[in-house]
Amino acid sequence: MEKKLHRILAEAAVEVLRAIFEEGAVADRAVARAMGAHPKWGKRDRAMVAETVYEVVRGRRRLEVLAGSQDLWDVVGYWWASQGYARPEWASWGVVESGEAAAREAALAEMPRAIRVSLGDEFDALGEAELGERWEVELAALDQAAPVFLRVNPRRGKVASVKAELEALGVEVELVEGCPLGLRVAEGKAVPSQLRESGRFEIQDAASQQVAPFVQVEPGMRVVDLCAGAGGKTLHLAALLEGKGDLLAMDRHEAKLETLRGRAARATVKVRTAAVSEASLAAMAGQADRVLVDAPCSGSGTLRRQADLKYRITAATLAGVQAVQREVLQKGAALVKRGGKLVYATCSVLPSENQAQVAWFSAGQGDFILEEERSLAPSETGWDGFYMARWRRE
């Protein structure tokens, strides 16, 4: 049975896509703005707009080939037709006959990988240079839709009880091997908003959930999360501290820290916050038992969730984040006391942001002894791509 395409929703989806492709808007934020501008949309309306945006962003270059056009309406119209939407009488996009579609599919198979997988040419070249044959494998994994993972807050309930509560509301979830606090939400299921805001769990990819345990915190420690952002890993660290010790979350952006404070209150965990400044860094110099540097990065390991990054990552943007990574690593190192530990983490699959940065830091910091490195490959785990390294300061 063909699905009906409502004009107001179609136009809204294309408007969001124009903001992403023509104005450089971040996909998640552009979608959120559209939802906020239309509070009366129902659940299905919101889902239709969001799915259209994310799938077209994920496959833009290959869809252009299949549609035979770079015009956005033609591209989106082709995708709607492929999803079983009936062609409305107001449609302005072209019709692709089945024979032509098959010919274009065959031609697509012979085109460069950057078109087939739909990402920027420069990014594709960077990935191949760094990962060789592994690049194609990781791209295939990162081209899939991302599952939703939850991290249960042990301060507010046990994994089994949260699982039972979700399933009682019709949300199927399953335990995640290698992720003690993790639950994976079944495809197509949505977590009710009242539970999302309850503080009993956070939405956090299973790979991201590996970082806080890797820091090896113990109750009573002084811990600094230097690039805390909105606080996903901060809250996990707070849970592992069991309410004992001191946890300081730092970031350059006050708006992110404000979001973190609200999340911490819902999770009933204690977190101090401070904007990164020379004074705040000096106040903690040499005092922390553990420092986490969850560094700014290309985000190449999160393409399933942030597909618009595929067109933004270039040699110039990569060089920019690498410079920032070295800066924050040095700032974080200065906070670690003797006998303490420093952890560096990225959500990138590129060695130049990971192993190369660790080698650079180790070569220049003789009193930091590298204890462990860990890489999480999307092709092996089904999670986001992550990297982490831990040093002990002698």
Instruction: Give the Cα separation of 279 and 258 in Å (integer).
Output: 20
Instruction: Give the Cα separation of 152 and 182 in Å (integer).
Output: 6
Instruction: Give the Cα separation of 310 and 319 in Å (integer).
Output: 16
For residue 109, report the phi and psi dihedrals to the nearest 5 degrees: -60, -20
For residue 168, report the phi and psi dihedrals to the nearest 5 degrees: -65, -25
Residue type, 82: S
Instruction: Give the Cα separation of 148 and 203 in Å (integer).
Output: 7
Catalytic site residue 347?
A: yes
CA-CA-CA-CA torsion sign (223, 226, 230, 232): negative
Tokens 């965990």 locate to: 269
Sheet holding 179-185, edge to edge: 173-176, 179-185, 148-152, 201-203
Instruction: Give the Cα separation of 250 and 323 in Å (integer).
Output: 19
Instruction: Give the Cα separation of 161 and 24 in Å (integer).
Output: 42
Catalytic residues: 347
